[in-house]
Amino acid sequence: MMSAKINLGNGGRRAARWIVKRANEWRTAARVTVAAMLAFAIGRILGLQQGYWAVFTAIVVMQASTSGSLLAALDYFVGTLAGAVYGTSVALILPTYNVWMLGVALAISVAPLAFLAALRRDFRVAPITAVIVLIIPSLQHVNAFDSALGRVIEIAIGSGTGIVVSRVVFPARTHTVVADTTADILRLSARLVAQLFAGFGEKRDLSAIVRLQDGYRRLVSKLDGVVSDASRERANHLSSEADAKPILQALRRLRSDYAVIGRAGAAPLQEAAGAHLLPALEQLSQSLRAHLGGMAQALNARREPPSLDAVTAAFAAYTAAMSGLRRAGLTRDLSDSEAARIFTLGFALDELRRNLGDLQSRVAELSYSK
């Protein structure tokens, strides 16, 4: 019984930590749910025939940040309006009294709108709207103009609902999303560093490394999308926040450094080299993990990142250990593959040291950016 209670207690704590860790995702889920229900209620109150389009739109336009939702809503509405106007024009000019004529009308509607959507992302929904305007009337026995008007009204309701909810329910600025996502990447980096450096002294856990690398790639991809949205916000004068591209580029360079270190640590070091290098590598691993975790905490708290002094000292200790290996003449006894691994590691660590300095500056900028 006692063991079962302990297990339940541990499980409850793990569940609580998981929920807290996913706070941003829970807030996004709450915004989407509120927007969907509000759009549904407005559609019912107004007696809209196809009220579900308002609900769909409210869900689609909801983004992680307030200004991102505004841009998505504008894109969706502009695309819908373009598709509705053009689709209605085709329907009025070209009679669709049989399936063959309807097919011709669809081709004439979709082709130019699809080309326009390829040129500009805010017209991506235009071809879909044109198709709906042409097909729905034949199924519901209404004219194309009424179908298009209803579609535009519902999209306007859904877009407006999404914008309002994003500003009222757990509103989040793009800057906040960038900082929090970067902090998540840095915390994951600390775990990845532990796994990569462990490979120099013992057989590493390859499955854990692959899992962490996949997580790093997904988070960087998420950050890439947020940074792209931030760039569009500045271009549309919706934001005056600093450019977030430098932090994204710094994290991508860090990922490349990890990949090279991972290749160098594919197998434990030979005994002679390990005796000189492993203590310095362990010190470097610990200092890197502590620093990456400290930068993540600094971003979440919007305060100055920790000093690089401990990391710099650890890099210097590794350089000294490498010099000792050379002075002892042990490099001459290494196999070609082992020597290549050690020199590759040295190159990767030099790059990592430089890139960490740049990342430190970017984190400081992001922490103090308003």
Low-confidence winner among 41-55, 185-199, 217-231, 345-359 (lowest mean pLDDT): 41-55
Average pLDDT of 3-29?
65
Flag whether pLDDT at 144 surpasses 70. no
The pLDDT-based confidence of 193 (bands split at 50, 70, 90) is very high
The span from the CA of 78 to the CA of 39, in Å, is 19
Give pLDDT, residue 259.
92
Amino acid at residue number 40: F
Residue with the larger pLDDT of the pair 333 and 176 = 176
3-state SS class at 266: coil
Q: Which of 9-13, 52-56, 339-343 has the lowest mean pLDDT?
A: 9-13
Specify whether the CB–CB gap between 212 and 259 falls below 8 A. no
* pLDDT tens-digit series, residues 36-71: 888 888 888 888 766 677 887 777 777 655 566 666
The pLDDT of residue 197 is 92
What's the rounded mean pLDDT across residues 320-325? 84
Q: Does the pLDDT of residue 348 top 70, yes or no?
A: yes
* CB atoms inside a 10 Å sphere around CB 5: 9
End-to-end CA distance of the chain, in Å?
A: 53
pLDDT interval class at 284 (50, 70, 90): very high
pLDDT at 2 over 50: no
Detail the DSSP E strand segments found in 11-110: none
Q: Are the beta carbons of 304 and 195 closer than 8 angstroms?
A: no
Residue with tokens 């400081």: 364
Closest to 214 (Cα-Cα) out of 266, 255, 267: 255
- pLDDT score at 31: 78
Assign residue 170 a region (left: φ > 0; alpha: ψ between -120 and 50; beta: otherwise). Answer: left
Residue 96 pLDDT: 64
Which of 28-32, 242-246, 267-271, 347-351 has the largest mean confidence? Answer: 347-351
Residue among 290, 286, 281 nearest 261 (CA): 281
Q: Are 148 and 136 in contact (CB under 8 A)?
A: no
Q: What is the pLDDT of residue 182?
A: 92
- pLDDT for the residue 50: 65
Res. 87: pLDDT tops 90: no
Which amino acid is residue 368, in one-letter code?
Answer: Y
- CA-closest candidate to residue 87, choices 106, 115, 114, 104: 106
CB 169 within 8 A of CB 34: yes
Q: Minimum mean pLDDT among 135-144, 258-267, 359-368: which range?
A: 135-144
Please, are residues 75 and 122 in contact by the beta-carbon 8 Å criterion? yes
